[in-house]
Copies of this chain bind each other. A is one copy, B any other.
């Protein structure tokens, strides 16, 4: 926790006052950060990674205390696993910070440039957004990951982690700040909210003009609360109800392997397929269904899908709007591309939807007419990921319509300004 954060926590008389004080310190630090070069920021991140490694004993001890408290408070094994650090996980966190340091600095990139007939030269140049608020749950790695991405893109960050990870987050944050400040980064560029009062989250969400963007990292209930209460712009996705449509022209072997991978590679990620749509005239529906059933997936189908295999359970109306995040899949038989597009328009969560097809016209119509953040042809929806997209690392996947969509990485943490260079021009 920074000196500024300590001071703010000690003198603030309300959650709003605390957030205002932290935001003011963060914004001032961001202005300092804006004067550092890309190389200086990268060096500072490498120093932070070194400090994370050097603080292994301290961080793991804090984490062990968090784990003991969590176990006493009845956290589930899954929650305790998300909270748990060990030497390998901590090494991974430090390596991830170094990886972010190695990414190209988006700040200062020229998006486009023109010269007007009157000689004015205009360019749009990427600049940091400002102060980013991160609200997360029990995973302590978010403390380092999110801080690194924000800092690499020139932003200050205000981190508010879950109370079950408070000791781990403080130890990680302290190590980060030691490294960063040793290379000239202002201390308040990375601040950890020094209070676990839940009202502080509400104060962050409504701090329009103080915090420029909020990124929630965690489960659906956290994201839903943030989206419902925020007056500050939010970058997030609530659901990943991803569809795969097997067009009648699809290669049966490709359809089988994509459907199996999209559902079963990892069932708990937002890019996992949750609904399979099979064209009524696709020649091998049973091959696809059997592959999924044999892999241990429960299938819930409409009557026509149930006719494919007796092991398919009946789907209820809610199934078409459910993100299972488990080895469960809804399956519907549709009458061609238009029927599939219609189903997707009604039920997609705008995350990722795919078609498997041998028909280029159908592929292009699907790419153009499905209005999701990511649309795919002949590929597994599990590729919906910043790393797989070559972005290096992602702060999250966004399904909103403004600013940034799909996997959001460093570029999505920037905005732009117009730079105008003249030679004395006045407007007629």
Q: Is A72 interfacial (CB 8 A cutoff)?
A: no
Provide the bound-state CA to CA distance between A34 and B389, in Å.
Answer: 26
Q: Is A371 interfacial (CB 8 A cutoff)?
A: yes
CB of A18, distance to nearest CB on chain B (Å): 23
Q: Given A34-B369, A371-B127, A388-B116, are A420 and B257 also a contact pair (CB < 8 Å)?
A: no
List B contacts of A425 (CB < 8 A): 378-380, 383
Q: Is A345 interfacial (CB 8 A cutoff)?
A: yes
Q: Is A321 interfacial (CB 8 A cutoff)?
A: no
Q: Given A402-B415, A405-B417, A420-B376, are A426 and B389 also a contact pair (CB < 8 Å)?
A: no
**CB atoms of B389 and A418 under 8 A apart:** yes
**CB atoms of A367 and B419 under 8 A apart:** yes
CB nearest neighbor in B for A375 = B419
CB of A384, distance to nearest CB on chain B (Å): 8
**CB atoms of B251 and A401 under 8 A apart:** no
Partner of A424, one of B265, B378, B403, B426: B378
Partner of A114, one of B34, B390, B401: B390
List B contacts of A35 (CB < 8 A): 369
List residues of A (235-266) whose CB comes within 8 Å of B's CBs: 251, 254, 257-258, 260-262, 265
List B contacts of A389 (CB < 8 A): 116, 122, 418
Identify the interface centre among A233, A377, A417: most chain B CB within 10 Å of its CB. Answer: A417
List B contacts of A417 (CB < 8 A): 371-375, 405-406
Q: Is A6 interfacial (CB 8 A cutoff)?
A: no
Q: Is A395 interfacial (CB 8 A cutoff)?
A: no
List residues of A (344-384) whose CB comes within 8 Å of B's CBs: 345, 363, 367-369, 371-380, 382-383
18 further A-B pairs in the complex, CB-CB below 8 A; given A31-B345, A405-B415: A34-B371, A120-B379, A122-B389, A130-B401, A251-B424, A254-B424, A258-B424, A258-B426, A261-B427, A371-B417, A374-B420, A377-B419, A377-B422, A378-B423, A378-B424, A383-B422, A383-B427, A407-B418
**CB atoms of B265 and A129 under 8 A apart:** no
Q: Is A282 interfacial (CB 8 A cutoff)?
A: no
Partner of A212, one of B122, B401, B406, B419: B401
Provide the bound-state CA to CA distance between A374 and B125, in Å.
Answer: 10
Q: Is A225 interfacial (CB 8 A cutoff)?
A: no
**CB atoms of A129 and B388 under 8 A apart:** no
CB nearest neighbor in B for A123 = B367
Partner of A406, one of B116, B377, B418: B418
**CB atoms of B379 and A420 under 8 A apart:** yes
Q: Is A213 interfacial (CB 8 A cutoff)?
A: yes
**CB atoms of B254 and A418 under 8 A apart:** no
Partner of A427, one of B31, B130, B380, B420: B380
CB of A284, distance to nearest CB on chain B (Å): 15
A-B contact pairs, 7 of them (CB 8 A): A35-B369, A108-B368, A212-B401, A233-B233, A233-B402, A405-B415, A406-B417
CB of A269, distance to nearest CB on chain B (Å): 10
CB of A187, distance to nearest CB on chain B (Å): 20
CB of A321, distance to nearest CB on chain B (Å): 14
Q: Given A212-B402, A372-B417, A401-B415, are A378 and B422 also a contact pair (CB < 8 Å)?
A: yes
CB nearest neighbor in B for A108 = B368
Q: Is A286 interfacial (CB 8 A cutoff)?
A: no
List B contacts of A418 (CB < 8 A): 373-375, 389, 405-407
CB of A87, distance to nearest CB on chain B (Å): 26
Q: Given A383-B420, A402-B402, A417-B374, are A390 and B129 also a contact pair (CB < 8 Å)?
A: no
List B contacts of A261 (CB < 8 A): 426-427
List B contacts of A416 (CB < 8 A): 405
List residues of A (193-222) whose CB comes within 8 Å of B's CBs: 212-213
